Structure 1
Amino acid sequence: MAAMALSSPSVRPGASFLVGGSGIHTASRTLASRVPLSGFVKSEVPKPLRFFNESLCTPALKDPAVPGLSVTHQEKEIVQKPDTRMRIFSGTANLPLAQEVASYIGLNLGKINIKCFADGEIYVQLQESVRGCDVFLVQPTCAPANENLMELLVMIDACRRASARTITAVIPYFGYARADRKTQGRESIAAKLVANLITEAGADRVLSCDLHSGQAMGYFDIFVDHVFGQPVILDYLASKKISPKDLVVVSPDVGGVARARGLAKKLSDAPLAIVDKRRQGHNISEVMNLIGDVKGKVAVLVDDMIDTAGTITNAADLLQKEGASAVYACCTHAVFSPPAIERLSGGLFQEVIVTNTIPVAEHNYFPQLVVLSVANLLAETIRRVHGDGSVSSIFQ
């Protein structure tokens, strides 16, 4: 059997690995020790007394809650609290982000063995008990999307068969989200298909960050917690100390107006501009005109993802022609499919601000790139989900 190398987001043959604890361990090392069953309480009940006629007499037990009251052990109900332990496991797609999330909560990553057979089949085995636990699986379905998605499904199935109490799929980047409707005849709505797969695998809840469209939450028949990366980007933009009078928020297309308007409102009600474009095909766009005034202002382009960077670079080129003094690109998901790096590093942008929902490979770094971490945001959401707290209050 070939095994999966965890240093790369792709699945490839090699030695098998164990993920968790303080880092990455080879499978040849001793497996993790069993977790003690700390949730079980041994109750000492006095033995019944026997008389000469062999009849039983049940001894009385003092009830500490009510002084002077005695009840029999049949009448005294012994209630054990459910085991509410938390476990966080990571797939191979974004191990550094999962480690940051676990560190924020104060836990070690759960130990899990993920490897790949010679024919590409994925094998998953949990290396510690999750019976009665709330399990959170951190796995974005980024490139290679099909392998990472299948890995997530197998991880969910492993947890379900290990008797986990609840299973939450933490998907920082939800792949296939762009296929959320039919724009032409005989098209697949793959976002709904993937939602069904995750549900049928056994997940009880999904936690995702900046879905491509809000209606994607309705594709799931389970609970969905939608986390926004805007607070992290807003904090960084605030550190730039740009005057609200010199700032304009720009949507690179009509579909992202609501997202840009929300960011503009939080940036001291900054003015809004819209780039009108006509898309000729997938990953191909043509900018038509600009709605709004950007002359002499710092333009902040806002989108949920940058894939090939065609849309956002065409928009930046138009903004510079319209007199913008500087252009910042802000997005949550850095997909960065070729030729994105060449386009983004071409001098059109002052900075390209992204988050680490998708790991950025070393060869994809360029001088203008700024990567912000959403680990604290995801970890706080996980903590509140586990403790039945409010998630929406994080973004108020």
Structure 2
Amino acid sequence: MKDLVLISGSSHQALSKGIANYLGIDLLPVKLGKFSNKETSVEIIQSVRNKHVYVLQSACGNINDNLIELMILIQACLMGSARKISVVTPLFPYSRQSEHSQSKRLETCSPLAVKGADHLIAMDLHDAQYQGFFKIPVDLVFAEPCIISYIKHNIPDWKNSIIVSPDAGGAKRAASICNKLGLNFALIHKESSSNRDGENNESMGLIGAVSGRVAIIMDDILDTGKTLKVASDMLRLHGASKIHAIVIHGLFTMDAINLINNSYIDDIAVTNSVPQDQNSELCPKLHVIDVSHILGETIRRSFNGESVSHLFLH
């Protein structure tokens, strides 16, 4: 792997170091900063000529600044005559825009984020079909193996549990984990109705029996925390004995920490696709699932031309 080079942006250097340790290599030295006028400054210290460069940057913190930094890193590698450039984004920027069904915005933003790159590695896209907007190969990484391992080793009574999707969009992800663990599945869904005045009313419904069971809520993104709060209220109302939550990308924006701390959720686990150090200090319920090894193995397999999908099928 002497021709493999790993470069980290400034968004999540701790994860980048974890991936480098898994691969048994050092991160390539890069000077990252800003000029006096606040423009992003990037300087790659060592040569990347004829190397396969993996650039790591996650959509967290100052997302727009990190996105520009990623684009400049890609351009610097191109100017440095890198043989191939792969972008690794544990949380891909602007991937939630698909919720608004504005295809022009998607077509503009998606390729722009990795313009000049030859290959993209992204982790648990909010919408899997989002990869269709790229003209370069896309390898999707799934946190599912890490989550299954976490459930088996950290939830003592997991065999008496039921996996809960807090909305219809996450049903497929939750059902996949159910099948691999041999567990039952429950779904929280929204019910809409109109009154005589034409006003729309929304209510929540639960499909599945959770009474006396350990409930494990599965979601891909925790943003404001409102979805998990409502889900935990619903599960407690229906008699769940204990409530765990597992989220892939934990953003914890706005008042999310307080919502989780004051909810019926007994504990919550998130991956380190984005930094969680500060959140861990503020939320005693929070546990972090390390995904550096699965990202590192994906990089190793892609570099050596091995199957990436086999990693998640078996």
More helix by share: 2
1:78-89 matches, cutoff 5 A: 85-89=3-7
Partner residue, 1:203: 117
RMSD of the alignment, in Å? Answer: 1.8
How big is the shift at 1:141? 1.7
Structure 1 stretch 202-211 or stretch 83-92: which is displaced more? 83-92
Alignment check: 8 A CA contact 2:94 2:110 kept: no
Could you tell me which residue of structure 2 aligns to residue 127 of structure 1? 45
Secondary structure at 1:109 match in 2? coil
Out of 271, 277, 296, the position equivalent to 1:355 is: 271
Distance 1:131 1:364, change over 3 A: same
User: C-alpha displacement at 1:358, in angstroms?
Assistant: 0.3
Contact 1:180 1:192 in 2 (8 A): no
Q: Which residue does the alignment assign to 1:193?
A: 108
Q: Distance in 1 between matches of 2:112 and 2:53?
A: 18
Does 2:81 match 1:156? no
Matched, 1:112 2:25: no
Secondary structure of the equivalent of 2:92?
Answer: coil
Task: Tell me, yes or no, if the aligned pair for 2:249 and 2:271 is still in contact at 8 Å.
Answer: yes
Q: What stretches of structure 2 of length at least 5 have no aligned partner?
A: 193-200
Q: After the TM superposition, which segments of 4 or more aligned residues of structure 1 sit over 4 Å from their partners? A: none
Aligned partners of 2:8 and 2:27 also within 8 Å: yes
Is residue 172–residue 358 contact of structure 1 (8 Å, CA) maintained in 2? Answer: yes
**Shift of the alpha carbon at 1:295?**
0.5
TM-score norm. by structure 1 comes to 0.73
Say whether residues 1:146 and 2:61 are aligned partners: no
Query: CA offset at residue 241 of structure 1?
Result: 3.5
Higher RCO structure (Cα 8 Å, ≥6 apart): 2
- 1:369–1:155 distance in 2 versus 1, CA, 3 Å: same
Flag structure 1 segments of 5+ consecutive residues without an equivalent.
1-82, 280-284
- Counterpart of 1:385 in structure 2 is 302
Q: CA deviation at 1:368?
A: 0.8
Q: Compute the displacement of 1:193 (Å).
A: 2.3
Cα distance between partner residues in 1 of 2:61 and 2:203: 28
Whether the 8 Å CA contact 2:165–2:217 is kept in 1: the answer is yes
In the TM superposition, residue 115 of structure 1 has moved relative to its aligned partner by 1.3
- The residue aligned with 2:174 is 260
Structure 2 letter corresponding to 1:328:
H
Larger Rg belongs to: 1
The residue type equivalent to 1:216 in the other structure is Y
1:128-182 deviation digits (Å, cap 9, x = unpaired): 0000000001100222111111111110010011100110100000121111154
Query: SS in structure 1 opposite 2:5?
Result: strand
**Residues 1-396 of structure 1 aligned to structure 2 (within 5 Å):** 85-180=3-98, 182-183=100-101, 187=102, 190-199=105-114, 201-239=115-153, 240-244=155-159, 246-268=160-182, 270-277=183-190, 288-362=204-278, 365=281, 366-396=283-313
Contact 1:287–1:314 (8 Å) recurs in 2:
no
Distance 1:229 1:363 in 2: 20
The amino acid across from 2:176 in the alignment is G
CA drift at 1:287: 5.2
> Could you tell me how far apart the structure 1 residues matched to 2:306 and 2:70 are?
26
Give 1:188 deviation, angstroms.
6.3
